[in-house]
Chains A and B, each alone.
Chain A
Amino acid sequence: MTATPLAEPAGATTSPTSPANPTSRPGRPGRPRRHPSATRRLVAAELRLLRRDPLTLTFVFVFPVISMLIIGGSFGTTPDDAFPVNPAHWYVASYFSVVIGATGLIMLPVHIASYRERGVLRRFAAAGFPRWSFALAELVLGLTAVSVAGVVLLAVAAPVYGVPAVDDPVRVVLGVLLGAVAFVSLGVLLGSVLPSARAAQAVGMLLFFPSFLLGVGGPPPAVMSPTLASISDALPLKVVTDAVREPWLGLDGGTGGLVVVGLLAVVTTALAARRTAL
């Protein structure tokens, strides 16, 4: 059995074969390695585990791509009087929010509730992980998931429908960033208040699918009944979608949506940080 190095004392000069320090990890010879902080170790472990989670892979990486291909292909690529934007581009610009919603409403609540249910958070707390380390790790985890899944989405969309030109990049980036922070924090908050992974899964699905169908990836607002359109307008994921899609496609939306998303991000982040302190 090959001995894999596992841990390293502080300030140890690393050498892969050093008999005096069998726990050190390979590094540049002669240069002291700083021991990674507890928060860094936690972030690294969480990112590694992200790749092994089938729920995440399915809902955050696969589901948005497949839905985009199906819905985008259903309405063609030609604008008309009723829908004066390339429908496929409309959905490509919208589906960034599906990734954000899937991460915040399904992946993180289930992940965190499962940790709490099984005593993983207690173990982190008892081991002396800093108070905010888990909240920070989950924020990094969520934002990484959104970023990678977003890139995957665009990479698939590019050869099929083309990626629409970005009309106002600053507002798009802000919309994506604030929307992602808001929903990641909401996910962390849900995971910290729901009693079990099963409850988180049920609540997450209940929140995600109406948000997805009415706010992002379902029928265009023009074909909705007034009641459904009103409900759609009130959905947080719809607000995020508008804050990204409108500046992306050059639609006239103003900055009101972006401000609301920013406020949502501040409130959910404050609540989530408070609830997930170890």
Chain B
Amino acid sequence: MDTSPLPSPAAPPVISVTGLRKSYDGRVVVDDLDLRVDAGEVVGLIGANGAGKTTTVECLQGLRRADAGAVRVLGFDPARDAERLRPLIGSQLQDSGLPDRLRVEEAVRLFAGPDAGDAEELLERFGLAHRRRLHFATMSGGERQRLFLVLALLNRPRLVILDELTQGLDPAARREVWRSVQQLRADGTTVLLVTHELEEAEALCDRVVVMQAGRVLDSGTPEELVTRHGGPVVVRFGLPAGRPAHDLVALRALPGVLDVERRGDRVAVHGRRSAIAHVGAWLVARGDVPDDLSVTSPDLEGALLALLDTPTTTTEDAA
């Protein structure tokens, strides 16, 4: 099910994919995939290894030729117009490197096109300004990832593709990179983020596309996905001792409530998100405002794990 926004004639999509199909040696890794990314969106492509995410973004950049389907990126067909399209995309590719003996400053010079932005500012922002003489081979994993980000953003791209963006970064560096992506979003840059880090997707993405075995399982905002697949919220509180059991009948009848459990003086109400407000109002109306009320909401991780918990045809890495 794809719940992507409908195309608007006024604003052509940055990425438009219909029926994309790609196989390697007869093994289908992307199967009839539809995808739409509009200008200014940060869209997360999520799925386990082998879901076909990397192959999909490689087709978007013209690094692989699709077997079937229509792919348009920034108005170009990546398979035919790769040379015109690629300079408009800033990409941080999974499993790609730089020459061992290339220094940071030399890498920036090498990749800086005629429309390059302020390289100094990028190096400062990603904490590499003082490491400019470092050879690529001697950089830590985190430093390499940050350099790749600098290179991805260097030429002020119209579309940024980030594949496993924060792999190998420590928590502080990861937060710094997240802030940079949030800054990109604020600047109106379109970002396609390929990740299996659900926390990252929840923190950064306007919309998430969930892939499994080369297909899109579902897409929507993180909140929509949590609502659709995250299971019920649980409101827990204690009731004063001796409350009659029939009180719970009224609780069960509240809108959005699916189930009520009572163990001793502890009550757990399972329901939709709307049930939280109704239970709160019910407690206030009765004058029984508990000081131990807690609400457990499903998160994106739980929602996607539930969504992905279906049999797959392949679990091998498609990349």
Can you name the residue of chain B whose Cβ is closest to the Cβ of A130?
B83
Query: Do B118 and A52 touch across chains, with their CB atoms under 8 A apart?
Result: no
CA distance A118 to B87 in the complex (A): 22
Q: Is A41 an interface residue when CB atoms closer than 8 A count as contact?
A: yes
Bitwise interface map of A from 121 to 141 toward B, beta carbon under 8 Å scored 1, else 0: 011011110110000000000
Query: Do B130 and A1 touch across chains, with their CB atoms under 8 A apart?
Result: yes
Chain A, 90-133, CB within 8 A of any chain B CB: 115, 118-120, 122-123, 125-128, 130-131
- Chain B residues within 8 Å of chain A by Cβ, number: 37
Query: Do B112 and A8 touch across chains, with their CB atoms under 8 A apart?
Result: yes
User: A residues within 8 A CB of B105?
Assistant: 4, 6
Can you name the residue of chain A whose Cβ is closest to the Cβ of B108?
A6
CA distance A22 to B113 in the complex (A): 16
Query: Do A120 and B99 touch across chains, with their CB atoms under 8 A apart?
Result: yes
Can you name the residue of chain B whose Cβ is closest to the Cβ of A41?
B110
* Contact A22-B116, Cβ < 8 Å, known A1-B130, A7-B154, A126-B63: no
Output the least CB separation between B59 and chain A (Å). 12
- Selected from A8, A119, A127, the residue in CB contact (under 8 A) with B95 is A119
Output the least CB separation between B15 and chain A (Å). 15
Q: Is the interface of A mostly helix, strand, loop or mixed?
A: loop
User: B residues within 8 A CB of A166?
Assistant: none
Query: Do B89 and A126 touch across chains, with their CB atoms under 8 A apart?
Result: yes
Q: Is A48 an interface residue when CB atoms closer than 8 A count as contact?
A: yes
Output the least CB separation between B152 and chain A (Å). 9
Chain B, 98-155, CB within 8 A of any chain A CB: 98-99, 101-102, 105-106, 108-116, 118-121, 123, 129-130, 132, 151, 154
Q: Is B219 an interface residue when CB atoms closer than 8 A count as contact?
A: no
Query: Do A9 and B99 touch across chains, with their CB atoms under 8 A apart?
Result: no
Q: Is B69 an interface residue when CB atoms closer than 8 A count as contact?
A: no
Q: Is A222 an interface residue when CB atoms closer than 8 A count as contact?
A: no
Q: Is B188 an interface residue when CB atoms closer than 8 A count as contact?
A: no
Can you name the residue of chain B whose Cβ is closest to the Cβ of A117?
B97
User: B residues within 8 A CB of A128?
Assistant: 83, 85-87, 89, 113
Can you name the residue of chain A whose Cβ is closest to the Cβ of B111?
A127
- Selected from A6, A42, A125, the residue in CB contact (under 8 A) with B63 is A125
CA distance A22 to B118 in the complex (A): 7
- Selected from B61, B102, B114, the residue in CB contact (under 8 A) with A126 is B61
* Contact A127-B116, Cβ < 8 Å, known A41-B109, A41-B110: no
Can you name the residue of chain B whose Cβ is closest to the Cβ of A23?
B119
User: B residues within 8 A CB of A4?
Assistant: 105, 132
- Selected from B86, B102, B116, the residue in CB contact (under 8 A) with A7 is B116
Can you name the residue of chain B whose Cβ is closest to the Cβ of A21?
B118
Query: Do B114 and A10 touch across chains, with their CB atoms under 8 A apart?
Result: yes
CA distance A5 to B87 in the complex (A): 22
CA distance A76 to B63 in the complex (A): 57
CA distance A52 to B101 in the complex (A): 7
Q: Is A274 an interface residue when CB atoms closer than 8 A count as contact?
A: no
Q: Is B91 an interface residue when CB atoms closer than 8 A count as contact?
A: yes
Query: Do A126 and B83 touch across chains, with their CB atoms under 8 A apart?
Result: no
Query: Do B112 and A6 touch across chains, with their CB atoms under 8 A apart?
Result: yes
- Selected from A7, A118, A131, the residue in CB contact (under 8 A) with B112 is A7
Q: Is A45 an interface residue when CB atoms closer than 8 A count as contact?
A: yes
Output the least CB separation between A25 and chain B (Å). 9
* Contact A45-B96, Cβ < 8 Å, known A23-B118, A126-B91: no
Query: Do B154 and A123 touch across chains, with their CB atoms under 8 A apart?
Result: no
* Contact A119-B96, Cβ < 8 Å, known A4-B105, A6-B105, A23-B119: yes
User: B residues within 8 A CB of A38?
Assistant: 113
CA distance A256 to B86 in the complex (A): 46
Q: Is B204 an interface residue when CB atoms closer than 8 A count as contact?
A: no
Query: Do A49 and B102 touch across chains, with their CB atoms under 8 A apart?
Result: yes
Can you name the residue of chain A whose Cβ is closest to the Cβ of B107?
A45
Query: Do A126 and B116 touch across chains, with their CB atoms under 8 A apart?
Result: no
Output the least CB separation between B136 and chain A (Å). 10
Query: Do A35 and B114 touch across chains, with their CB atoms under 8 A apart?
Result: yes
Query: Do A125 and B86 touch across chains, with their CB atoms under 8 A apart?
Result: yes
Residue of B87, B99, B132, B151 most packed against chain A (CB within 10 A) = B99
Output the least CB separation between A124 and chain B (Å). 9
Bitwise interface map of A from 5 to 36 toward B, beta carbon under 8 Å scored 1, else 0: 01111110000000000110000000000010
- Selected from B95, B99, B102, B129, the residue in CB contact (under 8 A) with A1 is B129
Q: Is B93 an interface residue when CB atoms closer than 8 A count as contact?
A: yes
CA distance A49 to B110 in the complex (A): 12
User: B residues within 8 A CB of A45?
Assistant: 99, 102, 106, 109-110
Query: Do B101 and A53 touch across chains, with their CB atoms under 8 A apart?
Result: yes
- Selected from A3, A42, A119, the residue in CB contact (under 8 A) with B93 is A119
Residue of A3, A23, A45, A128 most packed against chain B (CB within 10 A) = A128
Query: Do A7 and B108 touch across chains, with their CB atoms under 8 A apart?
Result: yes
Query: Do B63 and A122 touch across chains, with their CB atoms under 8 A apart?
Result: yes
User: A residues within 8 A CB of B129?
Assistant: 1, 3
**A to B CB contacts below 8 Å, 15 in the list:** A1-B129, A1-B130, A4-B105, A7-B109, A7-B112, A11-B114, A22-B121, A35-B113, A35-B114, A45-B106, A45-B110, A125-B86, A126-B61, A127-B86, A130-B83
Interfacial residues, chain B to chain A (CB-CB below 8 A): 61, 63, 83, 85-87, 89, 91, 93, 95-99, 101-102, 105-106, 108-116, 118-121, 123, 129-130, 132, 151, 154
Interfacial residues, chain A to chain B (CB-CB below 8 A): 1, 3-4, 6-11, 22-23, 35, 38, 41-42, 45, 48-49, 52-53, 115, 118-120, 122-123, 125-128, 130-131
Enumerate the 5 nearest inter-chain pairs by beta-carbon distance, A residue then B residue, closest first.
A7-B112, A119-B96, A128-B86, A10-B114, A128-B87
